[in-house]
Amino acid sequence: MNDFTMAKGDDGVAVITWDVPEKSMNVMSLHGLQELSDLFDDALADEAVKGIVITSGKDGSFAGGMDLNILAKMKEDAGDDPARGLFEGTMQMHALLRKIELAGMDFKTKKGGKPVAAALPGTAAGIGLELPLATHRIFVADNPKARIGLPEIMVGIFPGAGGTTRLVRKLGAMGASQFLLEGKMVDPKKAKSAGLIDEVVADPLAAARDWVLNAKGADLVKPWDAKGYKMPGGAPYHPAGFMTFVGANAMVHGKTQGAFPAPKALLSAVYEGALVDFDTALRIEARWFTNVLMNPSSGAMIRSLFLNKEALEKGAVRPAGVPDQTVKKLGVLGAGMMGAGIALVSAMAGIEVVLIDRDQAAADKGKAYAESYADKGIKRGKSTPEKKEAMLGLINATPDLDALKGCDLIIEAVFEDPSVKAEMTQKVEAIIPEDCIFASNTSTLPITELAKASARQEQFIGIHFFSPVEKMLLVEIIKGANTGDRAVAKALDYVRQIRKTPIVVNDARFFYANRCIIPYMNEMLRMITEGVAMPLIDHAALQMGFPVGPVQLNDETSIDLGAKIARATKAAMGNAYPDNPGDDLIFWMEEQGRLGRKSKAGFFDYDEAGKRQGYWAGVTDKYPLLDDQPDLIEVQERLMFSQALEAVRALEEGVLMDIREGDVGAILGWGFAPWSGGPLSWLDIIGTPYAAERCDALTEAFGPRFTCPPLLREMAAKGQSFYGRFGPKAAAA
């Protein structure tokens, strides 16, 4: 079966339809590229064909991008010179799109070509937009759900099939920046306003067909191929253009701190390409695209943020043989911040929700959170009053437990106290159907222990959301010792319904995410007590690609939460609890009433509006700064290894069952250096032998918390990588 087919009409229009078999959305493959090239050559050679329309056979979409296996194939085919393979393969794509753009016209005179239009039924992303950009006119269906853009930067690369060069020449560097540097995806009308596409119409195929039949020769010549072309906003050597590029360089470095290779390479391709003719610019784009692809960061980001994330969302770890467990009626116990957020995202997904709290006022307050969220959406033009009413109509806020009858999933989000949770579990299980799955949203309490209060432990599971629920993409599903497959499948199917990414881990104190976050925060606290400057700690993390530094993160998540976790852990572990001077710091901060942003006083000072004003001097009064501050790399290593070693231990102990979940969970859960692909990918980038060596040095300097885990030591001795040993290919072998 073919990815592309062509039908030649009696009116002289050849329609090339992209429709990849057994795919809900088109993706470009190597054989697809060849098919498109052959069909286009056929249409150009046929004198009866007056014009060409390229469209999609998929309802509501044109294409979702490229099959990233193409890149791996290009490398493999080149043998010992993968860079050459990538560059030549990229240039072949450029040649095809340039052939479409010129459409048979004489290269020098730019005359004699055939008109080519793109008719997009909906969403066009990546190569799905780069291909239309090479045509002479882009028509898109008036479909508000469709999204148009170039999101490659979000997974560690940039548009390398001509999209970068064409968009900059079409919109100018400033106009293109939001799509190239931010990966912004917009609806068709906004895409037209921005200049990405040409027309938004009810029937794009009919409009495109009509256009190619009436197009004139001048309509086929792209601005950059016309004599006297000037780049919108000015080229780099123009005064206005010069200032644009200076500003763009500063903006990119400010946002990325130099940690992400793709934005820098993109800017280089744009700047250098703007100094030369169009065809040379395409070659420059291909070279920088190859440069990024050869960077291990690129491969790690693509693997974690695209391939692994997509696999987990599609059920890669779902138990086999369990029928569909779509949630029809959800009960949420507790209408506080977490419960209200869970109710909101569930109702937004069309699920009927019963939101329970101790009295009507408390339950109504939880529902009001959803109402406030909807009002903000209406104000920003992202929702409508009708959608708001429909969503709120799905939430029944009540103190009446009998309203839970008929629920097929319960999520408990009450106070983090085992006795309170146990009492609620028993009360609710007496009311709900026998086959209802019961989940706890606890962030730290072991699921196996909480399940002891349940009469149906095989139906008891952990579903750990991150705050704020509506913004955070990750959900951590925790299997207790007796949790059955149906409970796991139910949790996974529910997470898919609410459009979030799940990871499934085995039960242990702090599960996976908090197990890694807590040592990270503790290391930050230790450094403060040692006299390391707070700005140095935060900026060390920022320059490793973290979205915020750990000092700021502690203020955002609330200092008293850390104090509560420390006390609970100490009580549970007794004498086994490790000595941690950071505890003294957070207990002192708690005593001072400095609980973080929520109290407008924490490690930072805040104004009345809650805006940070700078680091609080009281911390350095209590813990004086070192005269000689540590090296930046030392601080970064302490922060990185405190998390990565805990990820290794989680894998070693069987808490992590799939290496992909360790990396995806770290990036989506707490923002672990996305450029690295996650903690296990980061260890692969630096190499297990070097990682073990650094563990030994850190242990000698700072103590046994940096002791090299036996698994890492073994892998270092064998020269193994984590994905080489535990990745999907290794597991399947």
Count of CB atoms within 10 A of residue 371's CB?
16
Write out 619-655 in H/E/C secondary structure: HHHHCCCCCCCCCHHHHHHHHHHHHHHHHHHHHHCCC
pLDDT of residue 732: 62
Q: What is the pLDDT of residues 629-669, one digit of tens each?
A: 999 999 999 999 999 999 999 999 999 999 999 999 999 99
Strand partners, 329: 352
Q: What is the DSSP track for 536-559? A: HHHHHHHTTT-SS-HHHHHHHH-H
CA nearest neighbour of 290 among 257, 268, 259, 258 = 268
Report pTM. 0.90
CA nearest neighbour of 397 among 470, 443, 439, 342 = 342
Residues 498 and 373: beta-carbon distance below 8 Å: no
Helix (H, G, I), strand (E, B) or coil at 6: strand
Residues contacting residue 723 through CB under 8 Å, at least 6 positions apart? 303, 659, 680, 681, 684, 730
pLDDT of residue 107: 87
Q: What is the pLDDT of residues 603-625, one digit of tens each?
A: 999 999 899 999 999 999 999 99
Helix (H, G, I), strand (E, B) or coil at 613: strand
CA 30 to centroid of chain Cα atoms: 26
pLDDT of residue 26: 95
pLDDT of residue 579: 78
Residues 701 and 285: beta-carbon distance below 8 Å: no
Q: How far apart are CA 663 and CA 683, in angstroms?
A: 11
Helix, strand and coil in the chain, % to nearest 5: 55, 15, 35
Name residue, tokens 């596409």.
Answer: 197
CA nearest neighbour of 53 among 189, 177, 211, 288 = 211
**What does the block give as tokens for 550?**
């750990």
Ranges in the chain, pLDDT < 50: none
CA nearest neighbour of 350 among 369, 334, 333, 327 = 327
Q: At what angle do helices 688-702 and 710-718 cross, to 10 degrees?
A: 140
Q: Left, alpha or beta for 612 (phi > 0: left; psi -120 to 50: alpha)? A: beta
Residues 475 and 494: beta-carbon distance below 8 Å: no
Helix (H, G, I), strand (E, B) or coil at 169: helix
Q: What is the DSSP track for 681-727? A: HHHHHH-HHHHHHHHHHHHHHH-GGGPPPHHHHHHHHHT--HHHHHS
Residues contacting residue 508 through CB under 8 Å, at least 6 positions apart? 446, 515, 650, 653, 655
CA nearest neighbour of 150 among 249, 66, 234, 269 = 66
Q: How far apart are CA 328 and CA 342, in angstroms?
A: 15
Residues 292 and 268: beta-carbon distance below 8 Å: no
